[in-house]
Structure formats: C-alpha cells, structure tokens
Amino acid sequence: MPGEEGRLEPLLPLPFPLEPREVPRPRLCVVVPVYNEEAVLEQAYAAITAVLETMGVDWQLLFVNDGSHDGTAAVLEKLFRADRRVAYVVLSRNFGHQAALTAGFDHADADLVVSMDADLQHPPALLRVLLDAWRRGYDVVHTRKLETKGLSAARRATRALAYRAIERVSQVPIIPQASDFRLLDREALEAVRRLPERTRLYRGLTPWVGLRQCVVPYVAQARAAGRSQYGLGQRLAVFARGLFDFSNGPLYAGLLLGGIAVGLSTLYLLFIFAWILMGEWTAPGWASAISVTLLLNSVSLAFSGIIGVYVARIYDEVRARPPYLSLRVRKHE
C-alpha cells in the first residue's frame, strides 16, 4: 500500500495520446466548499497556500460558503482582506457539498481547477502530483483513498460494500474509495459545466465526460480540527445517487426477478391443475400458496419503490430548479 501512494493509474483507455504541457505559469483555481469549518479554515488556508507558493503557478483560492451558521463567514472575509488571491462565494442556504462544488466550478476562471475539502483530509502536498499529471497530458486527475486515518473498521467495511454495489450496476467507471479531491483541465471543466443535470454527483459525472483520465492513490489524514458535517443522511444520499443516477440496473433487476417470480407461479399453477386432473379437488400446500402470494406482492412493492426513486429524480430535473442560489461573490479585481 505505501508504494501505491502518489502513483498515477490510468482510468480509461486514452482516446488520444498524452501530450506534455509546457505552460510556464498556468492559472490554477483551488475550489474549497466549506460548511461550519470555522475551527479549521485558517489552518487550511495556511497549509494550502504554502504548497501553492512552491508550484510555479498563478493561483486563486476560491471558497464556497455553503450556508454555514458558525463564524465561517467572518473568517472568509478576514482571509479575503488579507490576501488578494483569496475569493469566496456565499450561498443563500445549505445546498449540499455537490451543489457547492457546482457553484465553485461556475465561478472558477483558470486553466485548471482543483476541488478539495477544507478539513485537510485531502493532503495539500498532493497538489504537486496533480499538477505534474496535468503537465504530462492528463485532462482529469482523480484521487482515491488507500485508507482514512481514524476511520472505524465498521465505516471502512460499509464504505467498501457500498462502492462494490455501485460498481456492479454503474454504467460509468465509479472509482472505488473515490473522493472529491480532483483536478480538471479547462476543457474537462467546460464539458462538465455543459451537462444538463441539476442534481449532480461529480464522482460519476467526471469519469463520464471521458478525455484523458488517471487516478492518484493517497492516504487521507484525520480531520485537522472541528467536526465532520457529513452525516449519515448525506452519505446515504451519495450512495443513492451513485446507485441510481448512473445505472438502469435496478429496473432490469426488477424485470428479472419479476420474470422469475412469474415462472415459479406458473409452475405452481400447473402443479395445481395436475393435482385436480388426478381427481383431487383440494390441492395441498395452502401455506406455500400464501408464501407465493406474499413473495409476488413483496417483489411488486419493492420495485414499485425503485420506480418511484427514478420518477422522483425525473421530477427533480423537470422542475429545473437551480442547484444553488448565491447571495454574494467576493473577488478582487
């Protein structure tokens, strides 16, 4: 595992060969969604900027305040006044991590964009590796966690099972143990921006756009300070998006199980007819008949629920509500 960290792993067959980039000082924008991160924000700023200063790029640090209700806004204003390379966007309420990323991507103006979290679980030192992969010719550079320090064994096992389930049904390559720490070239960023989805999961959308992609493994650190705002509800929402947004597999599973149930029911019906033809008017097995009925009804209800999930997602898209509303954008001219 230690030998894997920082090594580039191609994600998809290259649609065209890598072409090294020799841009002297590319413009880099680092997008950082924040939600109640007052305790770690200044520490994250110091750690990220210390690395950016050594990378030979013209950089901007763009924070997206996703409806924080602690002192995050005051810290962002303080950083903005102290450093002309800091900018921030204020959303009107908490829209969620993926919507905050969308706001950051919409307001980023650079040759390449990196998204990362403010809690320093995404190591800033890895920014150099992402930039090096871009210079080698990759358009999208993902990261995946080899391990997360401080994560319980139960959480590790649950996360592994969730990714395995999504991988089985997904029609796009979902990276196991992926994170939202990634680099997008301007071309890839524009491709993602053009996608019509309003409810987004970038762990699936960014592989979907194709281009030249690779993955960088890393070890996620424990939170530098504060408390995680990503609760069980958010994790379940991400799992549901990964399961339903990039696959029709659950619907086909319903068709398959429904066909099997109909076949078994037909066999049972033929058995009853055969029993009657043998001169018996009361077929045995009333308990099994009830079991078959319960099975069919359970299959029907379960897949009615699955269809309901897809219909709800269609409804969300048809309403065409924007993924976020911004109150304020603070940028230096």
pLDDT digits (tens, 9 = 90+) for 242-262: 555 666 666 666 666 666 766
Full domain range(s) for residue 289:
249-319
Residue 239 within any structural domain of the chain? no
In a shared domain, residues 220 and 296: no
Instruction: Tell me what pLDDT residue 199 has.
Output: 77
In a shared domain, residues 53 and 179: yes
pLDDT band (50, 70, 90) for residue 301: low
- 168 or 307: which carries more pLDDT confidence? 307
Q: What is the mean pLDDT of residues 142-163?
A: 67
In a shared domain, residues 291 and 159: no
In a shared domain, residues 211 and 277: no
- Residue 305 in tokens: 């629920």
In a shared domain, residues 99 and 84: yes
Residue 310 within any structural domain of the chain? yes
pLDDT band (50, 70, 90) for residue 231: low
Instruction: Tell me what pLDDT residue 277 has.
Output: 72
DSSP string, 147-206: EETT--HHHHHHHHHHHHHHHHH-SS-PPTTB-S-EEEEHHHHHHHHH---SS--HHHHH
The predicted model scores a pTM of 0.72
Structural domains in the chain (count): 2
pLDDT band (50, 70, 90) for residue 158: low
In a shared domain, residues 22 and 105: yes
pLDDT, one tens digit per residue, over 263-293 is 766 776 677 677 667 765 555 555 556 666 7
Residue 162 maps to which CATH number?
3.90.550.10
Instruction: Tell me what pLDDT residue 295 has.
Output: 65
Residue 225 within any structural domain of the chain? yes
User: Distances from the Cα of 8 to the Cαs of 3, 124, 140, 167, 319, in angstroms?
Assistant: 11, 17, 12, 21, 41
- pLDDT of 239 over the 60 cut: no
Residue 208 within any structural domain of the chain? yes
